[in-house]
Amino acid sequence: MPDAALSQQLPFTLQRTQFSALGERYEGKVRDTYALRDRLVLITTDRLSAFDHVLTTLPFKGDLLNQLAQFWFKKTAHVVKNHVLDVPDPCVTVARKAKPFAIEFVVRAYLTGSLWREYDKGIDAYGLKLPPGMKRDQKFDKPILTPSTKAPKGQHDEPISVADVVKRQVMSQRDVDRATEAAMGLFAVGQQQAALQGLIFVDTKYEFGVVGDELLVIDEMHTPDSSRFWLAASYAERFAKGEPQAMLDKENLRQWLINERGFSGHGALPQIPDEVRVGLTQKYLDAYQQLTGSAFSLKVGSVEERLSQNLKRAGLI
């Protein structure tokens, strides 16, 4: 049963922020990013997007995502440096301002999600030449890279092959190579930690940028918003029967939208019932607690008020 605090928090979700003192504001699908000189202040709101549309909010989502990302940034600092400078509030990251690459590095260990839907239709947008006869949710021999363009809010990310990333001069071959090496290293750490905690780390996306010539992993990493996590104990049986996997991530919402509302990104935006919002938040909470091995404190109340107080305390506003 979902924690009662999740329902109680619904009236207090953080939809958007307005802190002019923090600098120039950019509103993404989930984060409000403020830029001032060589610094960024990233506020992870409670907004929930799917199929490139912001649809609703989830209680505690911003706090859960930001705190889980911090767990992973610390755990992977030996693989590649990250942009984190400070965390003055559960949903805030103060970061170095990097020059971002306009590519999301998507690493996949299983044939599932959008890649399965494309494979099933005979589409090979990434030039992967996957063998015929593969099944949904089948594991690859080794993780693969399926990049996508990083589209502005309201536009769709587009699949792109590694070769075209260089051919279109979106990134140099050198930058593609070192970002790919970093992505695979980060993914390996994620797989190891997930396996220790009884989960399968299925796939994820990374964003990278540079400060000077120094490569940094930026944005977020290894959260239920940007990754898939399956329960390891039931994988083999469900795969053998062709049943959907037990998931602790946003794919639960995507499947609900497709199956219950016939929505996959086109047409009128559907309303998301409160019970669906609370149920998905419980999945995110379970993912956080299982991945980290730590409990997450659920304090019902105004995120906006707490946020303002902590930003003032940190001397940021």
Please report the DSSP string for 153-176 in residue order.
TTS---B--HHHHHHTTSS-HHHH
The encoded tokens of residue 50 equal 């799917």
Overall average pLDDT of the 211-221 stretch? 96
pLDDT band at 155 (very low <50, low <70, confident <90, very high): low
Q: Is the dihedral of CA 80, 85, 89, 91 positive or negative?
A: negative
The encoded tokens of residue 202 equal 């299925």
What's the confidence (pLDDT) of residue 153? Answer: 62
Distance in angstroms (rounded) separating the CA atoms of residues 226 and 217: 14
Which CATH class name applies to 100-192+203-219? alpha beta
Question: Chain-centre distance of CA 55, in angstroms?
Answer: 16
Amino acid code (one letter) for 213: D
What's the confidence (pLDDT) of residue 1? Answer: 55
Contact 239, 137 (CB under 8 A): yes
Instruction: Encode pLDDT of 229-239 as tens digits.
Output: 999 999 999 99
Contact 203, 108 (CB under 8 A): yes
Contact 316, 88 (CB under 8 A): yes
